[in-house]
Amino acid sequence: MTILDGKALSLKIKDEMKKEVEELKQTRNIVPGLAVILVGDDPASHTYVKMKAKACKEVGIYSITHEMPSSISEAEIIETIEMMNKNPNIDGILVQLPLPEHIDSTKILEVISPKKDVDGFHPYNVGRLTSGLDSFVPCTPLGVMELLNEYHIDPKGMDAVVVGASNIVGKPMAALLLNANATVDICHIYTKDLKSHTQRADILVVGVGKPGLITEDMVKEGAIVIDIGINKTEDGKIVGDVDFEHVSKKASFITPVPGGVGPMTIAMLLKNTIKAAKGRN
Ligand code: NAD
C-alpha cells in the first residue's frame, strides 16, 4: 500500500509556483492577486481563509480578504464582487462558502467574472468542464487529479466510484474522471445500496462528511482510495470519511486525512490564481 502524500506534493508544487510567480513579475511585471470574500464568523471558514492567505504569501501572490458581518445584504456582497471584477490587480475572486442562509449563493457565484472564477463554481466554467474544455476547475477535485498524476495513476478504463455529489466536490470530481476516460458511477444520500457500488471501484473517491462511512468490506482488494472528507471528532481529531486503519490494509493507494487532499486543495487555488494572472491582457 502506498500513501498518496498530498502534503509533500503540495510543497513541491508551491516551490514550482514560487518560481513561476517570480518569473511573471520579472517578465511581465505581474503580481498575481486573489480577493477573498468572507462573510460571517464561522470558525472553520476563518481558518480556511487564513490558510489560503498564508499560502498566497508563501508563493508571492498578493491576497486581500474582505471580511463582512453575517448581517450583510446580498446587494453589498455583489457590489464588492463587481468592484473586484473591475480591479486590474485582482486575478482571482473567491467567496468562502457557506454563506449565511439569507444570501443566495448561486446568485453570488454567478456575479464573479468567469475569467476570475478561481474556484471554478461559475456555471460558465462548470459547463466548460463538463464539455471537456479548458476552464477553471474546482480546487479539491483538481487536487485529486494532480495527486493521481503524480503517482502515475491513469484513470483511463478504470471503474471509478465517487461518493458525494455536491457541486463543489462530487460532481466536478466525476466530470474530471469521466474526461480522463474512467467509467464513472456517482453515489449520494439516496443511493440504495452504497456498498454494491463502492465494492466495484478501482478508484474510490469519497467526499461526504461522515466519519467511518467507508468500511473495509465496502472496498475492493487493491483499490485506489481517495478520502476528501474532513470531520472533527469529539476529541478534536481531524478524520476523513474512510476507516483508514482497516481500509488501508486492502487498498493499493490511499490518501491520509489530514495530509492528503486538503493541502492539494490550497495548492490548486494558487495554481488557478496564477493561471488567471497569466491570462491578463
Ligand atoms: P455536502 O454536504 O455539500 O455534500 C455531501 C454529499 O454527500 C451529498 O451529495 C450527499 O448526497 C452525500 N451523502 C450524504 N450522506 C451520504 C451517505 N450516507 N451516503 C452517500 N452519500 C451521502 O458536502 P461537500 O461540501 O461536498 O463536502 C463533503 C466533504 O468533503 C466534507 O467532509 C467537507 O469537509 C469535505 N471537503 C474537503 C475538502 C478538502 O480540501 N479536502 C474541500 C471541500 C470539502
What CATH number corresponds to the domain at position 59?
Answer: 3.40.50.10860
**Burial degree of 255 (CB within 10 A; 0-12, 13-18, 19+):** buried
Q: How far apart are CA 22 and CA 95, in angstroms?
A: 26
Residue to mutate (ligand 1; options 9, 140, 166; most atoms within 8 A of CB): 166
Instruction: Determine, yes or no, domain membership for 245.
Output: yes
Instruction: Determine, yes or no, domain membership for 3.
Output: no
Look-up: residue for cell 505581474? 30
Are 153 and 144 a contacting pair, CB within 8 Å? no
Choose among 186, 163, 109, 175: nearest CA to 137.
175
Cβ-proximal residues to 248 (8 Å cutoff; 6+ apart), any chain = 1, 225, 254
The helix/strand/coil state of 33 is strand
Are 43 and 106 in a shared domain?
Answer: yes
Q: Is 170 in the pocket of ligand 1 (CB under 6 A)?
A: yes
Produce one character per residue of 50-64: b if its CB has 16 or more CB atoms within 10 Å, e if not. Answer: eebbebbeebbbbbe
Are 257 and 155 in a shared domain?
Answer: yes
The helix/strand/coil state of 180 is coil
**Burial degree of 190 (CB within 10 A; 0-12, 13-18, 19+):** exposed
Are 153 and 188 in a shared domain?
Answer: yes
Low-confidence ranges of the chain (pLDDT < 50): none
- β-pairing, 253-254 vs 2-3, is parallel
Instruction: Determine, yes or no, domain membership for 272.
Output: no
* 5, 91, 96, 117: the active-site residue: 96
What's the pLDDT score for residue 103? 97
Element holding 170 (H helix, E strand): helix 170-179
Are 146 and 209 in a shared domain?
Answer: yes
Instruction: Determine, yes or no, domain membership for 238.
Output: yes
* Ligand 1 atom with minimal separation from the 229 CA: 32
How many A from CA of 141 to the centre of ligand 1? 12
Are 57 and 153 in a shared domain?
Answer: no
Q: Is 141 in the pocket of ligand 1 (CB under 6 A)?
A: no
3-state SS, one letter per residue, for 98-167? CCCCCCCHHHHHHHCCHHHCCCCCCHHHHHHHHCCCCCCCCHHHHHHHHHHHHCCCCCCCCEEEEECCCC
Is 26 assigned a catalytic role?
A: no
Is 237 assigned a catalytic role?
A: no
Q: How far apart are CA 31 and CA 240, in angstroms?
A: 36
Are 68 and 99 in a shared domain?
Answer: yes
* 33 backbone dihedrals φ, ψ, rounded to 5°: -125, 135
Instruction: Determine, yes or no, domain membership for 57.
Output: yes
The helix/strand/coil state of 12 is helix
Are 183 and 213 in a shared domain?
Answer: yes
Instruction: Determine, yes or no, domain membership for 126.
Output: no
Are 103 and 205 in a shared domain?
Answer: no
What is the total count of domains within the chain? 2
Instruction: Determine, yes or no, domain membership for 202.
Output: yes
Cβ-proximal residues to 32 (8 Å cutoff; 6+ apart), any chain = 21, 24, 60, 61, 62, 91, 92, 273, 274, 276, 277
Query: How many CA atoms within 13 Å lie on the side-chain side of 134?
Result: 5
Are 224 and 150 a contacting pair, CB within 8 Å? no
Are 21 and 266 a contacting pair, CB within 8 Å? no
Instruction: Determine, yes or no, domain membership for 9.
Output: no
Q: What is the CATH number of the domain that holds 199?
A: 3.40.50.720
Domain that holds residue 199: 139-262
Are 36 and 87 in a shared domain?
Answer: yes
What's the pLDDT score for residue 219? 98
What's the pLDDT score for residue 281? 79
Are 107 and 167 in a shared domain?
Answer: no
* 5, 52, 185, 227: the active-site residue: 52
Are 149 and 230 in a shared domain?
Answer: yes
Are 143 and 113 in a shared domain?
Answer: no
What's the pLDDT score for residue 150? 98
